[in-house]
């Protein structure tokens, strides 16, 4: 992420990047790897290659990991870019703060693998975790942007399959409406340095859906039956195109009698939590996520956990799990 210690400076630097709408999918992937992979990894977190249900990924394990708890992290990237490798900085920060062993998966990406490939992979991994002995009460979900929408879709798919649901979920700036009907797509387009250029376009949705119905709840969980889902924490910045996805999701969850906490961070931009090297708000947001997850796992959250960073990410142990 850009090297600046205030949000205005970061926005200025991000505004210099070529807009996503001007890039090919390969170029989007290259830009995402550079942006998300540039952050610092938390000290004491090690990485191991993972493969569950033929889906690869990375385990991020903090030095004091709680042995029975697992966080399944679903990365963002509009369903067409992003990777477990690029998300090592963010995932390690979450793992270190919570003490939870964290799995970030490389679900299949569009356009090579359109909807419903991502949700199929996520559900297969979720089922595999349960089958390998992870108790659903000790399993939590988190994701950002498209990955946040995928977390919500995964819970709908798990519920439909009769699987036990996780203890809680955290979604950061979730993309839950493929039809992009939220007013913030227009109202925030001049203020959102990452997604603003896409306002009025369905480029990412079209790449993922490739003709599938945009209101399908597994693509757009905003329109799904949200009843009986576990507690959900939603974090979103006030100056992003996906603001209304978050506020409407919170409203729908509340109407479905799901315990939901919506936190709108003033002045923050899309997935600001990835900028913890430079933003105090990002560090506080990650602390909030950790406390929320641990609380719903029945753990004491009174102990402060403020991980230091290593700069470059730790070398990865190549053992496959």
Residues known to be catalytic: 145, 240, 270
**Do residues 115 and 212 make contact, with C-beta atoms less than 8 angstroms apart?**
yes
CA atoms within a 13 Å half-sphere pointing along the CA-CB vector of 307: 29
Q: How far apart are alpha carbons 82 and 84 in whole angstroms?
A: 7
In sequence order, which residues have a C-beta less than 8 Å from that of residue 303 and are 6 or more positions away? none
Q: Which among 28, 36, 39 is positioned nearest to 3, based on CA atoms?
A: 39
Q: Helices in the chain by DSSP H: which ranges?
A: 7-14, 25-36, 88-98, 117-131, 146-160, 184-187, 203-209, 243-255, 280-296
Encoding tokens for residue 243? 């603001």
Apex 112 CA angle, 106 and 113, nearest 5:
60
Q: How far apart are alpha carbons 284 and 232 in whole angstroms?
A: 18
Residue with tokens 């610092």: 40
Alpha carbon distances (Å) from 13 to 4, 18, 271: 8, 11, 15
Alpha carbon distances (Å) from 40 to 93, 210, 277: 9, 36, 7
Q: How far apart are alpha carbons 188 and 280 in whole angstroms?
A: 23
Q: How far apart are alpha carbons 125 and 72 in whole angstroms?
A: 9
Backbone angles phi, psi at 46, to 5 degrees: -110, 155
């Amino acid at each position: 992420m850009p090297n600046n210690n205030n949000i205005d400076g970061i926005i200025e630097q991000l505004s210099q990047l070529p807009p996503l709408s001007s890039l090919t999918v390969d170029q989007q992937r290259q830009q995402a790897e550079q942006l998300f992979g540039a952050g610092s990894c938390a000290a004491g977190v090690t990485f191991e290659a993972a493969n569950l249900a033929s889906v690869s990924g990375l385990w991020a394990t903090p030095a004091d990991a709680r042995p029975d708890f697992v966080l399944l992290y679903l990365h963002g990237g509009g369903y067409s870019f992003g990777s477990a490798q690029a998300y090592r900085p963010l995932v390690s920060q979450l793992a270190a703060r919570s003490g939870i062993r964290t799995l970030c998966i490389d679900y299949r990406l569009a356009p090579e693998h359109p909807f419903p490939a991502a949700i199929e992979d996520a559900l297969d991994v979720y089922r595999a975790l349960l089958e390998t002995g992870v108790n659903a009460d000790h399993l939590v979900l988190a994701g950002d942007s498209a990955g946040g929408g995928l977390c919500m879709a995964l819970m709908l798919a798990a519920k439909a399959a009769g699987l036990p649901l996780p203890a809680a979920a955290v979604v950061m700036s979730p993309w839950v409406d493929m039809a992009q009907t939220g007013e913030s797509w227009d109202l925030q387009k001049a203020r959102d340095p990452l997604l603003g250029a896409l306002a009025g376009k369905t480029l990412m949705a079209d790449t993922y859906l490739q003709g599938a119905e945009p209101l399908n709840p597994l693509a757009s969980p905003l329109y799904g039956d949200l009843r009986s889902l576990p507690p959900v924490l939603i974090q979103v910045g006030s100056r992003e195109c996906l603001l209304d996805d978050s506020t409407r999701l919170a409203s729908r969850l509340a109407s479905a009698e799901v315990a939901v906490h919506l936190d709108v961070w003033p002045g923050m931009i899309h997935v600001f939590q990835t900028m913890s090297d430079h933003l105090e708000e990002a560090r506080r947001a990650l602390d909030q996520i950790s406390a929320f997850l641990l609380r719903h796992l029945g753990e004491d959250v009174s102990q402060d956990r403020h991980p230091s960073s290593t700069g470059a990410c730790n070398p990865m142990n190549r053992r496959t799990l």
